[in-house]
Structure 1
Amino acid sequence: MPIPQWLADGIAKLAQRGPGSAKNDSEIAFAELPATLETVTIPTRHGDVSATLYLPQEGAAGRAVHINLHGGGFVLRHPEQDDPICRYIAAKAGVTVVNVDYDPAPQLRAPGSIEQALDVTRWAASADRDWDGSRLTIGGASAGGALAAGVARLALEEGGPSIRLQVLLYPPLDLTIPAKAKKGPGKEGFLVPLGPIFDTAYVPEVSRRADRLVSPAGPADTASIEGIAPAVVITGEKDILREEAVRYADRLAAVGALKEHVDVAGVGHGFNILGSPRELVVDVYDRIVGHIVASDENGDENDGEADAGAPDDRDA
């Protein structure tokens, strides 16, 4: 039986009132990496949003910028959970990272959150910023990865802003399939009871879950995505969202827009913030950094052409 919208909205709002992420002193917090933090307010068509800038040691001037969109099932508001990856990218790639505190559902439902993220991206791409907005990448984990994919799709359809790379870390990309139907042998189950709440709060009308911005890995989206920003897709072997991300990676590969598919063995959803070994997280983060740096060094990466040869689909 589907969960009623009023109940999903109520649970989502209660969850938002919960405490934020505690200060993470684990070895995957990367607290030893230097970062200068600044808070900014960014105007969007759906109201102002706050964002935290992670500035590299060299400063922002003349350097590239990366937009980060946090996870949380489209309903939770804890951008601080992405402090480790933002800190890592800023320090290792030498770019400014914009960690966005976007408005969650039910306060802002699809496609509003994607439009808000697009407006933030346009703000970051502006020549008015300290950094070089023409050298822009975007990414996110879980729901944040889905929003990043949506921004890349709108940028393709609307002729900009130019995005050199999209980083999609275990994203939900097909909301036409209920979470319980995604649970198979060897898959973890903690997202199964949460899926109906997240999906209903984010997209209450079931028919709208087939929209290209919500389910680009779903069967209804058959439009060409040729020319979309090149992508790195990262999946976890035990994640119930793995198969839809793989389908989207295949779709990207078909138009020459897949830089790498990293399929991490033995892990599930949220592995990089839920206590995976440091060496595993470092390997994944280093791959992300490598692609961000490469996209900055090779300005033609935003032409949608992937590296020659078959997609690199390796276990991490």
Structure 2
Amino acid sequence: MTDTSEEVRLFRTEAQRHAGSRLRVMPELPVGTYETVTGPVGELMLYRPAGVEALPGVFVNLHGGGFVLGDWEGDDPYCRFLADAAGCAVINLDYVLAPEHPYPAAVHQTSDLLAWLAEHGADLGVDASRLAVGGHSAGGNLAAAAALLARRRGGPRLRGVVVDYAPLELSVRPDAKLTGAVRDDPGAVALAAVGARFDAWYLPDLRDGADELASPALAPDLAGLPPTLVITAENDLLRAEGDRYAGRLRAAGVETEHAVYPGCGHGFTHDGPQEQAVDAWHRMAAFLRRVLTTKAPA
């Protein structure tokens, strides 16, 4: 039996091997087109939009990986796409991972970065009065949680949130989410098994799963949150909680855009199908362009 640190190392090694072997969605996108700047959490990867002369608004991107895996590099080409297509600056955050940094470390790190940007964004040549946050899978959870924390703290004021096929109800065991069409889907079953391990590493005290910063979809009140784009995938065991979250946002009066991608599973924006992935990235870019460049604050 391996100890926790060895088990984590093996998971991360296999994840890196898989990432290096899979075909990337939108393979024509360039890589390494960022500049490195210093922020409150060390080095930040900053992507500036091409052809934008005025100070651009800024989007903080949070990668996926179950709170345990992944890093900024997996989202590098897509951050370049979002910067150019949305006309905003993008900061690609390499947030801290569990189990070394369990809940709520990454939520607070994200929130601290947003607060720092609101105060110091001009030093980076960005207009952080026009600020948005979003992420994919676990990163979507962190983005939604950071928006709740910003509301709780009275700022910074966010213009938009992107929640892309995120786990939003960590108080529910992943295997209990294997219902309906995904009950016997091999990919969903495998994701549930891995997700249970990752949730335990992220939430050493499982009672924290009931907290809104761990399970944003269970927040008692969602009123007053920024405009939100929620993306879910038809064949993802996390679809139902994402759909419920979108419904609760709308019921709370939050401007909500919700897209369900048919025939897709978890991670489709990075792993395909290509057509649906491209559509989702363009949807994210259009949402960011609208809330950051054309939508005046209420």
Same fold (TM over 0.5): yes
Q: Is 1:293 aligned to 2:286, yes or no?
A: no
Question: In the alignment, what sits opposite 1:58?
Answer: 51
CA contact (8 A) 2:269 2:278 kept: no
Q: Deviations over 1:108-153 (max 9, x none)?
A: 1111110001111122223433110111111000000000001100
Q: Pick which of 205-214 and 120-129 moved more.
A: 120-129
CA contact (8 A) 1:8 1:200 kept: no
- Structure 1 pair 254/41, CA: closer, same or farther in 2 (3 Å)? same
Residue 239 of structure 1: how far off its partner (Å)? 0.4
CA contact (8 A) 1:49 1:102 kept: no
Q: Is 1:225 aligned to 2:207, yes or no?
A: no
Counterparts of residues 96-175 of structure 1 (less than 5 Å)? 96-125=89-118, 126=120, 127-175=122-170
Question: In the alignment, what sits opposite 2:175?
Answer: 180
User: Which segments of structure 1 move beyond 3 Å, counting only runs of 4 or more?
Assistant: 6-10, 16-21, 23-27, 297-300
Which residue type is aligned with residue 197 of structure 2?
A: I
Residue 55 of structure 1: how far off its partner (Å)? 1.6
The gaps in structure 2 that reach 5 residues or longer are 183-187
SS of the counterpart of 1:175?
Answer: coil
Q: Write 1 or 2 for the structure with the bigger share of helix.
A: 2
CA contact (8 A) 1:61 1:130 kept: no
Query: CA-atom RMSD, angstroms?
Result: 2.3
Question: In the alignment, what sits opposite 2:243?
Answer: 246
Q: Is 1:276 aligned to 2:254, yes or no?
A: no
Residue 10 of structure 1: how far off its partner (Å)? 4.5
- Structure 1 pair 291/275, CA: closer, same or farther in 2 (3 Å)? closer
Question: In the alignment, what sits opposite 2:216?
Answer: 216
Return the alpha-carbon distance in structure 2 between the equivalents of residues 27 and 62 of structure 1.
30
SS of the counterpart of 1:67?
Answer: strand
Which residue type is aligned with residue 296 of structure 1?
A: L
- Structure 1 pair 60/180, CA: closer, same or farther in 2 (3 Å)? farther
SS of the counterpart of 2:113?
Answer: helix
Return the alpha-carbon distance in structure 1 between the equivalents of residues 190 and 48 of structure 2.
35
Return the alpha-carbon distance in structure 2 between the equivalents of residues 214 and 9 of structure 1.
23
CA contact (8 A) 1:49 1:103 kept: no
Which residue type is aligned with residue 100 of structure 2?
A: Q
Return the alpha-carbon distance in structure 1 between the equivalents of residues 3 and 53 of structure 2.
44
Q: Deviations over 1:46-96 (max 9, x none)?
A: xx3432111212367511111000000001132211123212101111211
CA contact (8 A) 2:32 2:76 kept: no
Q: Is 1:90 aligned to 2:83, yes or no?
A: yes
Which residue type is aligned with residue 80 of structure 1?
A: E
**Number of aligned positions between the proteins:** 289
Question: In the alignment, what sits opposite 1:308?
Answer: none
Question: In the alignment, what sits opposite 1:191?
Answer: 191
The gaps in structure 1 that reach 5 residues or longer are 304-316
SS of the counterpart of 2:191?
Answer: coil
Report the TM-score, using the length of structure 2 for normalisation: 0.89
Which residue type is aligned with residue 138 of structure 2?
A: A
Question: In the alignment, what sits opposite 2:20?
Answer: 22
Q: Deviations over 1:222-243 (max 9, x none)?
A: 2x22111110000000100011
Return the alpha-carbon distance in structure 2 between the equivalents of residues 9 and 275 of structure 1.
31
Q: Deviations over 1:174-202 (max 9, x none)?
A: 01111111112322322111011110110
- Structure 1 pair 198/79, CA: closer, same or farther in 2 (3 Å)? same
Question: In the alignment, what sits opposite 2:185?
Answer: none
Q: Pick which of 282-291 and 184-193 moved more.
A: 184-193
Residue 12 of structure 1: how far off its partner (Å)? 2.6
SS of the counterpart of 2:264?
Answer: coil
Residue 25 of structure 1: how far off its partner (Å)? 6.6
Return the alpha-carbon distance in structure 1 between the equivalents of residues 27 and 250 of structure 2.
33
CA contact (8 A) 2:86 2:286 kept: yes
Residue 41 of structure 1: how far off its partner (Å)? 3.3
- Structure 1 pair 107/268, CA: closer, same or farther in 2 (3 Å)? same
